[in-house]
Structures are given as C-alpha cells and as structure tokens.
Amino acid sequence: MSAPDEKARFNPRRACAWPPRPQRTDTVRLITVEELKSWIVHEDERLLVINKPGDVVCHPSKAGPWSSLVGATREYTGLPTMHLVFRLDRETSGVVVLAKDAVMASRLQTAMMNRRVGKAYLAILTGEMRGAMEVDQPLGDDLASPVFVKSAVCVGGKPAVTRFWPLAATAGFTLARVQTETGRKHQIRVHAHWLGFPLVGDKIYGPDDRLYLDFIDKGWNEALAARLLLPRQALHCAEIDLQAVGVVPVFTAPLAGDLQSFCLSHGLTG
C-alpha cells in the first residue's frame, strides 16, 4: 500500500492500533517436523493438505521457516515454493490446502474465485441458535474500532453470504456448522457477531474488541480467560470439497481437541 493510501485510511479513533504492534517474541510458536507430519491429511505429487492447529500462523514470519505453516511445509518438502491456496487465521484450526506447483495453485485459486470450492466450518457460538440462519450483508473496514484489522457489516462493503446450521444448543452456547458463499476477511466472525451470536474466544468480535489490544500488549491472562473462556476463537475448518475441479477425496478434519473439550464440558454434542 502506498503512503497516500495509508493516510487516507488512517482514522484517529484507531490510532492506538496503528501502526500494528510488533509480534510478541515470547509467543512465537515453532513447529517440529514430527508435529507437521502428524498434521498431514493428504499428500501427493501436487498437493499437501494439513490439519492446522489453532496456534499456528500460515504465512511466513521473521522468526524463521519453522514458525509458519508455509515455511515448515517448504522445509519438509524441500521445494523452493509452497503455494497457500486456502489459508486460515492463526487462531482458526482445521483444513489448509497447499499446492506444490504454480499450475495447480492457479487452478484451485480460479475455482475458489468462481465459487466451485465447498468449505464447511464448525463454530462454537455464544447464545443458543434455534434454527438455521443466513446472513447476506456486505463487509468492509470498521472505522469506529480501535483495532485496525477489524471488519464490519457496512453500506458499500463487499458482498458476503454466510449460512449457519445449529447442531447443538444448550447452556448458553451453540455448536454450529457454517458455510460461506464468499470469502471475505473474518467473514464468519463478523456475521456471527452481527447476528448476536459471537464466537466463543473471539478477541476482536467478542464482548469487547479492546481485549485484542490487551492480548497483544500483555498476552493471555486470567482476566482475558474470564471474559473469553477460550484462548482462541472457536472456529474450525472441518471440510474442503474440491471435487468440482477433479480433486478427490473431500478433505476433512475432526473438531480440534480444545474445542471438543469445550463442547463436552458444556453439553454440546452435535
């Protein structure tokens, strides 16, 4: 982004989050080769599909190749480039697809743009959702938030459609299956918040977006745990279906262990 664009987007109400805070060095998560191998869902000469934990960043970082999924898979395969076709936010667990060559990457990215890729998530929501719900609301930058990366439903935003199906709802929470028709930044999290069913553990779209700034500054602590209940947003990519572009089988990953434990302790069995 050029300097004029940065100034145009700057909002004094968000000054406390701009420029972005540096990454805390005490929270860098390094991946071991044994761990990476245990996360492999599928591998062939063109694809590598990983079941990513909820504490691993996808994109390369300054902390070395083993601090990110792309860097670690590049080291594991010995390839100069690994193409991240479908990424997940650091705190979102589940299926991630990487291509080993540019042709396959382009093919899958084109399929995604043409909405020929099926993706399904599991999410734990705050509140009891009693029936299927669809959100068709545009998304853009939340200029009123102190968190620079935050999105919001807004007039003039990019089209976004998300569908929620409750699998279990009790004790003030819902385990839901979620599908997206579009792929906007933080789409599921924003739409869940807009519906009044924010994700458990969501530091930005949960009870107070300033909790995210507290976490960046101080790390996870008891005060945050009392407000958020989980140290990450309760979102898991459970399924990616590429059959429409000739890739089989459907890639799946069971709900991550920490989210399973939360469901069991709160009576959520879907």
174 pairs with which residues across the strands?
125, 169
Cβ-in-10-Å burial (0-12, 13-18, 19+) of 134 comes to middle
124 and 175 Cβ atoms separated by less than 8 Å: yes
Please, where are the H alpha helices in the chain?
Answer: 3-9, 33-38, 69-77, 102-113, 187-195, 210-218, 222-228, 257-265
Token match 């009392």: residue? 226
Closest C-alpha to 239, from 253, 258, 257, 259? 253
Q: Which of 5, 44, 89, 217 is catalytic?
A: 89
Question: How far apart, in whole angstroms, are the C-alpha atoms of residue 190 and residue 199?
Answer: 9
89 has catalytic annotation: yes
Determine if the peptide bond prior to 249 is cis (ω within 30°). yes
Instruction: Kindly list the catalytic residues.
Output: 89
